[in-house]
Structure formats: structure tokens, C-alpha cells
Chains A and B, each alone.
Chain A
Amino acid sequence: MTSFQRWAFCLTVPAALLTLCLYVLPILQVLALSFTEPTLGFGNYVALFHNAAIGRVVRTTVIVSAVTTVLTIVMSYAVAFALVHMPPAPRRVALFMVMVPFWISVLVRAFAWITILRRNGVLNSALVGSGAVSEPLELVYNQFGVIVGMVHYMMPFAIMLLYANLSEIDLRIIQAARSLGARPVTIFFRVWLPLSVPGLAIAGLFIVIFSLGFLVTPAILGAGRVLMVAEYISVQISSTLRWGVATALSTMLLLVVGILVALAMRSPALRAAFEGGRK
């Protein structure tokens, strides 16, 4: 290490100390509660697997997360694919529109969806008014509403991740495929899609991890009827004060996310993407 490199390294020390003291240690302390509260031992973890309510919460979380991830990836891929093929001027406008939701609070967006989706909301009024349905549809305070809100929240992230991946694909490779006689559908399935795998994997992993611990949107659009892990933990901590169960569930969530990341990092393409464009 040169003296300059040493000096540059020292610049990271304050941030490292802050992270360690104010983030890592308190988390470990909280997680330790799962073994000590209310009595010492693995009681909380055993309870996790025998409690029917927790089983329902986990099932809901997995279903909502899986559906959200699949829908988000499919729709975001379509948008990113279109972005890559746009001329520069419309692309700037389109990218701007993708970014707009980033500037609006997640709370505001959740309440906006309620306005649109509730029984006498914008969508139902239009549907009933036009005679398309006779009774208003149940569009919110259920899994459907939660998924709509979560997909809306996730899509900008997924679009940006996929767009970054797709715009790195050398367009001469696509031209080469055409010159070799491949038609658009063949080119999509044999060239675009295989070359998108790293981007799809990163975006998918990101959304799964985000969905599993999502609190605000499910809480508002589910209104307590679609209980997911994060909201359940929050209720245990702030209302029922069962800290042992809450911290045990948090530990499990952290473990699951850690395992998912570890599995994903076994893929060379993903590892390369996380390490950046190191040649």
C-alpha cells in the first residue's frame, strides 16, 4: 500500500465505526433477545413452527412476494426492452417518467392506490358507470390490492436495473444475428433473453428481498387483512410486546435473505455484476 492508498483507506474508518456501533451491535443485541426473551433457550424458534397464525403470515408473505416478483420482472422487462430500442429523444422522456415515482413518498402512493381501487373509487365508479360490471369489484384491502401497490413500487427499480443490463448488450451482436438469417422472434429468444439473464437475476433477487420485508404498502393496502412478516413483527414489538417472537422472526427473515444472496452469488454472472465491471 502506498501512503496515499493508506490515507484514502483511513477516510473509510469513521463510517465503519459508525456502522459498527450504531447498526451492527444494536442489531445483534436485538437478535440476541430472541434467545433470552421471555426465557433463555430456543423456545421462540420452536414456537415459530407450531404457531398457526405465524404459518399463515409466512404463507401470505411468500405468495405475495412471489407474485409481485414475477409480475414486476415481466412488465419491467417489457419497459426496459422498449427503452433500449427508442430513439434518444423519446427515451429521455420515458426515463423521466420511470423516475417520477421515486420523488413521491411511498405513503402518498399507497393512499393514491386506495383512492383508485376502493369500492366507490375511481376505477369502480368508471366500471359500474359504463355498465361493464353491475357490482363494484373488491380491488383493495386484499392480496390483489397489496400486489398492485408493491408492483408499482418495485417497477422503477427493476426497470433501471434491467435497462442498465440491456443497454450494455452490443447492438452489433443483434445485427450479426440478423445477417445470419435470424428473425425477430428467434433473436429475442436466442440472443436478447440469454444475454439478459444477469440483469433478470439481479432484479429478481432485489425484488424478492425487498418484498419479503415490505411494511408500509402491505399495511395500508392490506389494512390488516393481508398480514405479512414485516407488519406482523411490527405489531408484536409495538402492540403486543412479544419481543421474543418478533426478534426470532426477524432473525429468520435475515437468515432467509442471507441464504438467497449466498445462493445467487454462486452464479458467475451475478458475482460479476455485483463486483462491477472488473476486467
Chain B
Amino acid sequence: MSFLDVRNLRKTYGSAVALDGVDLSIEAGEFVTLLGPSGSGKTTLLMSVAGFAKPDEGAIRLDGVDITRVDPEDRNFGLVFQGYALFPHLNVADNIAFPLRVRKWDKARIAARVEEVLNLVGLDKLASRKPRELSGGQQQRVAIGRALAFGPKILLLDEPLSALDRTLRDIMQRELKRLHRQTGVTFVYVTHDQEEAYAMSDRIAVFHNGGIVQVGTPRDIYRAPASRFVAGFLGGNNIVSARAIDGGIELFGTRAPMPEGYDASRHGRSALTVWMRPEDIAIGEPRPGAIAFPAVVADVSFVGSSERVTVSTPDGQELLVLASLATARDVAAGGKVTCSVLPSSIGFMADE
């Protein structure tokens, strides 16, 4: 039995299905991210765990105890809202003390705990400021500190970084990881941003149309997306057509032995859909064992650490290639190049 156990959770709003029989198990101390596009059900699941959304069916268990019908104020979970939802009439210290006053802690204990939390989130110098006098990043720290102050077993975060600019987001991601390590609290984090999910999570649950389509570590999900949707949503993946012929594969007009991992019953007997990461495709002299094919360069754009090269394959498909600056030096739009990909870098999609 895991720490937080979500079983067959269903929730509909009128005719719209927000959660379609979701199962998810989370271990104590884990950092789990619910990742998906808007409307995929990730926030509904988070709000169900928080107690604000009432599921139509299914159960949520904490340490084996059914909490599905428990009111939010009795769950003792920390919740960080999109847009922070700080009390505008209270200063930073009073915002953090709110859950402690509600719990009728004595004054000395509240003062000590507020001090501790202020240090934890790095706001010890701003204790008497009002929320409107703080920057977005500082307000975010107050919201997190307030949600952690009373020692919750679980911290639920609903897209907390979406309002911040990129630099601040990077800093806050590291901060959240540090807080997670330091407090040992279980974090459940909702986002639509895959980089955020990769950077912080122990595990990611990918949402699509009210269901979880894949759960795994960031590396697993990046390396082996389970479906066309996951591969597409995670972005930058090439999803292309190929064919199975005589026990081999025909890819971009080139025949080669069938790569490992192919299962005719799951992936299709003739027409195949395969994916490959842009950074796994090489331009120039093919490596030994790689499947090589000619291509015409359609576009080259500089993205800082590398060049993004779009090529057209002989069978008329478009392919995105991330090439090092050195490799791409001689590549220009309209030029002919040789591309290659190792069989181990090719993944098969289930026949949908």
C-alpha cells in the first residue's frame, strides 16, 4: 500500500469528463508531477486530492485511510495556488502564521515557527511587508512558506511558476527542489511545462483527455514515450512513417534490418509509426551500424547551443535535426546532406 493512493477516480462537469477513471500511487517523500495540456484533468486531480473537487466515483486513500469525503480544512495538506492567493490584508509573517493561529498554537511556538519558515523560504528580511509590496517571486515564496508552515504531509502545487519570467522560474525550480529535499514532504506538482517537470520530478504522470497515459521517471518518459500523444506533447520529437517489409524496415526509402523492440502485434504489420529524437540524428559521415539516407536541407536556424536543421527525406517527410555548431557549419538551405540514425534510437508507437 502506497502513501497516497488514487483509485479509479471519475469526475464530470455536465457532459465534460474531467477525470476518466484515474489511478495513481504516490510514495511518501516523492516529488510527482502531473503533466499535461490544459483541460487534460491534471488540475481536477490535484483539487480532488486537496478536497475542493468532489469526485463522482473512486477513492483517495492516505496511508490506507479513505479521505475521499473529508473536507479540505480537515486534510492537513498544503496547497499553493496559481496566482498565490495570499491574504492581502496580512503581512508576510501573519500570512505564514495564519494556519498556526487557526490551529491555536501558543504565541511563542507560532513566533518560533514563523521565524523558521521565513528562513526556510529566504524571506526573513521581509516579514512585515504586505503582499502587494512584494515581487512575484517573493509572493510565491510566501505562498509556499504558508502552505508548509503547519507541517503538512503533502504539498500540492498548482502551476505555481506560470506567472514568473524564465530566469526567476529557473531559480524557483531549484528552490522547490531544495525545499523538497530539506523538508521531506511529499510534493504533487501540476504543470503544462515539460522542462519544469523534467527538472524537478522523481516521477511524471502524463495526462491526456482526463486520463493518465504514462507514468515514469523523467528519463524514461523522455527516452520512451508510450504513445503518439506523449511523444508529440513532450515536443521536439520526430514522429514519422515507416514500413515493415520482409522482416526488415523501410525508413525514408532506405531498407535496413528491423531494429529491436518491434512487436508486429502491437506496432502494426505493415505501416509503422516511429519516433526519433532530433539530437539522435547525425549529419555527415554515418556511424557504423547506423541507417543512412540522403536528405535536402529545408531550413537552418540558430538556437544558441546548437543549430536546428529541418531536412526533407527522399520519401517526402520532414525531419528535425539538432546538429552541433561544428557539424552544421557547411550546411545551408537547399544543400544535399547525408543523415543517419542508430537503430537503437528508433522507437515504435503502438498502432492507434
Q: Closest approach, in angstroms, between the C-beta of B62 and any C-beta of chain A?
A: 15
Cβ A181 vs Cβ B76 within 8 A: yes
Cβ A182 vs Cβ B73 within 8 A: yes
For residue B146, which residues in chain A have a CB less than 8 angstroms away from its CB? 176, 180
Contacts A175-B52, A175-B72; A180 near B85 (Cβ below 8 A): no
Contacts A175-B52, A194-B89, A195-B89; A180 near B98 (Cβ below 8 A): yes
Indicate which residue in B73, B81, B88, B98 contacts A183 across the interface (CB closer than 8 Å). B73
Q: Closest approach, in angstroms, between the C-beta of A258 and any C-beta of chain B?
A: 29
Q: Closest approach, in angstroms, between the C-beta of A215 and any C-beta of chain B?
A: 39
Render B149-186 as a binary contact track against A, CB cut-off 8 A, 1 for contact: 01000000000000000000000000000000000000
Q: Closest approach, in angstroms, between the C-beta of A149 and any C-beta of chain B?
A: 36
Contacts A172-B81, A186-B102, A190-B98; A178 near B73 (Cβ below 8 A): yes
For residue B79, which residues in chain A have a CB less than 8 angstroms away from its CB? 175-176, 179
Closest to A195 in B: B89
Indicate which residue in A172, A181, A191, A195 contacts B73 across the interface (CB closer than 8 Å). A181
Render A150-191 as a binary contact track against B, CB cut-off 8 A, 1 for contact: 000000000000000000001011011111111100100011
Closest to B156 in A: A179
How far is A75 from B204 in the complex, measured between Cα atoms in Å? 51
Cβ A181 vs Cβ B150 within 8 A: yes
Indicate which residue in A179, A186, A191, A197 contacts B87 across the interface (CB closer than 8 Å). A191
Q: Closest approach, in angstroms, between the C-beta of B47 and any C-beta of chain A?
A: 9
How far is A191 from B103 in the complex, measured between Cα atoms in Å? 16
Indicate which residue in A176, A181, A190, A195 contacts B85 across the interface (CB closer than 8 Å). A176
How far is A179 from B81 in the complex, measured between Cα atoms in Å? 10
For residue A181, which residues in chain B have a CB less than 8 angstroms away from its CB? 73-74, 76, 99, 102-103, 150
B210, CB-defined interface residue at 8 Å: no
Interface residues on B, range: 20 to 34
Closest to B90 in A: A194
Render B52-77 as a binary contact track against A, CB cut-off 8 A, 1 for contact: 10000000000000000001111111
How far is A177 from B86 in the complex, measured between Cα atoms in Å? 9
B78, CB-defined interface residue at 8 Å: yes
B50, CB-defined interface residue at 8 Å: yes
Render B76-113 as a binary contact track against A, CB cut-off 8 A, 1 for contact: 11110101011111000000001100110000000000
Q: Which of A177, A194, A197 has the most CB of B within 10 A?
A: A177
How far is A172 from B81 in the complex, measured between Cα atoms in Å? 8
Q: Closest approach, in angstroms, between the C-beta of B24 and any C-beta of chain A?
A: 20
Q: Which of A173, A176, A182, A197 has the most CB of B within 10 A?
A: A176
Closest to B71 in A: A178
How far is A178 from B83 in the complex, measured between Cα atoms in Å? 16
Cβ B50 vs Cβ A179 within 8 A: yes
Closest to A171 in B: B85
The A/B interface has a contact count, at CB < 8 Å, of 63
How far is A191 from B89 in the complex, measured between Cα atoms in Å? 8
Q: Closest approach, in angstroms, between the C-beta of B164 and any C-beta of chain A?
A: 17
For residue A191, which residues in chain B have a CB less than 8 angstroms away from its CB? 87
How far is A191 from B99 in the complex, measured between Cα atoms in Å? 13
Cβ B83 vs Cβ A172 within 8 A: yes
Indicate which residue in B77, B85, B98, B102 contacts A172 across the interface (CB closer than 8 Å). B85
For residue A190, which residues in chain B have a CB less than 8 angstroms away from its CB? 98
Cβ A179 vs Cβ B77 within 8 A: yes
Q: Closest approach, in angstroms, between the C-beta of B135 and any C-beta of chain A?
A: 15
Cβ B102 vs Cβ A195 within 8 A: no
How far is A233 from B270 in the complex, measured between Cα atoms in Å? 99
Q: Closest approach, in angstroms, between the C-beta of B72 and any C-beta of chain A?
A: 5
For residue B71, which residues in chain A have a CB less than 8 angstroms away from its CB? 178
Q: Closest approach, in angstroms, between the C-beta of B76 and any C-beta of chain A?
A: 7
Q: Closest approach, in angstroms, between the C-beta of A222 and any C-beta of chain B?
A: 41
Contacts A194-B89, A195-B88, A195-B89; A182 near B83 (Cβ below 8 A): no
Q: Closest approach, in angstroms, between the C-beta of A196 and any C-beta of chain B?
A: 10
Q: Closest approach, in angstroms, between the C-beta of B256 and any C-beta of chain A?
A: 55
Q: Closest approach, in angstroms, between the C-beta of A194 and any C-beta of chain B?
A: 5
How far is A41 from B147 in the complex, measured between Cα atoms in Å? 68
How far is A254 from B292 in the complex, measured between Cα atoms in Å? 92
Q: Closest approach, in angstroms, between the C-beta of B255 and any C-beta of chain A?
A: 59
Cβ A179 vs Cβ B88 within 8 A: no
How far is A183 from B88 in the complex, measured between Cα atoms in Å? 19
Cβ A182 vs Cβ B89 within 8 A: no
Contacts A172-B83, A173-B85; A179 near B78 (Cβ below 8 A): yes
For residue B76, which residues in chain A have a CB less than 8 angstroms away from its CB? 181
For residue B52, which residues in chain A have a CB less than 8 angstroms away from its CB? 175, 178-179
Closest to A183 in B: B73
25 contacts between A and B (CB under 8 A): A170-B83, A170-B85, A172-B85, A173-B85, A173-B87, A175-B52, A175-B72, A176-B79, A176-B81, A176-B87, A176-B146, A177-B98, A178-B52, A179-B50, A179-B73, A179-B78, A179-B147, A180-B146, A180-B147, A180-B150, A181-B102, A181-B150, A182-B98, A194-B89, A195-B88
Q: A interface vs B, CB < 8 Å?
A: 170, 172-173, 175-183, 186, 190-191, 194-195, 197
Known contacts A180-B99, A181-B102; 4 additional CB pairs below 8 A are A175-B81, A179-B52, A179-B72, A182-B73
Kindly list the 10 A-B residue pairs having the minimum CB-CB distance in the complex, ordered from nearest.
A180-B99, A179-B79, A172-B85, A176-B85, A194-B89, A182-B102, A178-B72, A181-B102, A178-B73, A173-B85
